[in-house]
Amino acid sequence: MKSKNEVVVKRPDDWHLHLRDGEMLQAVLPFSAELYGRAIIMPNLRPPVRTVKDAAAYRRRILNCLPAGHGFQPLMTLYLTDETPPAEIRLAKSEGLLTGVKLYPVGATTNSEHGVTSIKKVYRVLEVMQELDMPLLIHGEVSDPAVDIFDRESVFIDRELQPLRQAMPELKIVMEHVSSKIGVDYVLAAEKNLGTTVTPHHLLINRNSIFAGGLNPHMYCLPVVKREADRLAIRQAAVSGDPRFFFGSDSAPHRLVDKEKAGGAAGVFNISTALSSIVRVFEAEESMDKLEAFMSLNGARFYGMPVNPDTITLQKTETPVPATDNIPVGRDRVKVFQPREPQFWQIVDGLRQTK
Ligand code: NCD
Ligand code: ZN
């Protein structure tokens, strides 16, 4: 850190990102690639990224949208299904192409129709992952319709995650996008092999936002944002610098037509505002000295990767930075997640060319 109005941190990484495909990929990728060193790319495409071959092809499509030699590294994941053969994990390990395997309980979120119907069914695959030190990334919510939507994370922890961790203590697990105080406390109580990504929106809003001024689909994501006490617990953990908590934007773009309809899609596109709003959170919590741990160090350490060698510089401006409300994608648009508060931090050094 240099002064109150300038911050220098190692180039950050994004440990949970949806880039989609086709023209959506082309439209959203530059926002990640200009700033982040690496990003874990979620595999919930239609159809999902189910094999090492799918992941290699998807990686190529991502890199093809960037200038040759661009430094952004997409870290690929596989979408676990009931049918994933253990041999696919061995292949993934030997090819060195995958950073992790994503488990979506069937029906838990966007494009999870092919997800796992019961964790017991994939135990053999998980055992191989444990043996090979391949991280398991979990969407930690039950999809049982009898469970209240605000309790889905805590019930998942009791019913699924705790038994799994007891059965496979050496399996490295990321409980993605922690969204509740119970989830935060659970991660804090874990001695090893458990971490969590934290999204900007779970740090910034509570469930009132979904209903303030009328029903607002642009505040709807999964796990759904919860009570103020949950938000404050997540915030406290993130700004503490605890190594088990690291940034994962969960930036999940959907076209306006798909958000603003009955049965509108879950997911917010936040990556263009993510860093500046997170800096505000750390500033407000008087924890600027922990910003680098959260954005640039903890995730790399959890995944056993080196920290990015270069740095970025942020400066605080006197007047609010103008906010982009939406971006074009083909003939439609994608709304940018807007933090309620004005933004005062902008990146003045370290942005990379993406064209
Ligand atoms: C994500 C998406 O749209 O792919 N949606 C979301 O609300 N976060 C899926 C996910 O990560 O749950
Ligand atoms: Zn996600």
Q: What pLDDT sits at residue 2?
A: 57
Give how far Cα 140 sits from Cα of 38, 273, 323, Å.
Answer: 23, 25, 32
What tens digit of pLDDT does each residue of 232-242 get? 999 999 999 99
Distance (angstroms) between ligand 2 centre and the Cα of 18 equals: 6
What tens digit of pLDDT does each residue of 185-234 get? 999 999 999 999 999 999 999 999 999 999 999 999 999 999 999 999 99
Domain extents in the chain: 12-309
pLDDT at residue 150 above 60? Answer: yes
Ligand 1 atom nearest to CA at 18 = 4
Is residue 182 within 8 Å of 236, Cβ to Cβ? no
CA distance 274 to 16: 13
Distance (angstroms) between ligand 2 centre and the Cα of 252 equals: 6
Ligand 1 surroundings by CB, under 6 angstroms: 18, 44, 109-111, 139, 221-222, 250, 252, 266-267
CA distance 1 to 295: 14
Residue nearest to atom 9 of ligand 1 (CA): 110
DSSP class of residue 96 equals T
pLDDT at residue 1 above 60? Answer: no
CA distance 39 to 17: 6
pLDDT at residue 347 above 90? Answer: yes
Nearest in space to 206 (alpha carbons), one of 186, 182, 179, 178:
179
Rg (CA), the chain: 19
What tens digit of pLDDT does each residue of 89-114 get? 999 999 999 999 999 999 999 899 99
Residue nearest to atom 5 of ligand 1 (CA): 267
Nearest in space to 197 (alpha carbons), one of 157, 267, 270, 246:
246
What tens digit of pLDDT does each residue of 112-133 get? 999 999 999 999 999 999 999 9
Mean pLDDT along residues 23-27: 98
Ligand 1 atom nearest to CA at 222 = 7
| Active site residues per annotation | 250
Is residue 282 within 8 Å of 313, Cβ to Cβ? no
Which ligand lies nearest to the CA atom of residue 202 in the structure? 1
pTM, to two decimals: 0.98
Distance (angstroms) between ligand 2 centre and the Cα of 271 equals: 12
pLDDT at residue 340 above 90? Answer: no
Question: Cα 184 from chain centroid?
Answer: 16
Residue nearest to atom 4 of ligand 1 (CA): 110
Q: Is the peptide bond between 47 and the residue preceding it cis, with omega within 30 degrees of 0?
A: yes
Q: What pLDDT sits at residue 157?
A: 98
Q: For the domain covering 12-309, report its CATH number.
A: 3.20.20.140
Q: Which amino acid is at 66?
A: L
Give how far Cα 89 sits from Cα of 138, 318, 353, Å.
Answer: 16, 51, 35
The overall average pLDDT reported for the chain is 96
| Tokens standing for residue 139 | 């969407």
Q: How confident is the model at residue 4 (pLDDT cuts 50, 70, 90)?
A: confident
Find the DSSP H helices in the chain: 22-33, 52-64, 86-95, 123-132, 152-156, 162-167, 181-189, 200-204, 208-211, 228-239, 256-259, 271-284, 291-292, 298-303
pLDDT at residue 324 above 80? Answer: yes
DSSP class of residue 192 equals S
Q: Which amino acid is at 332?
A: D
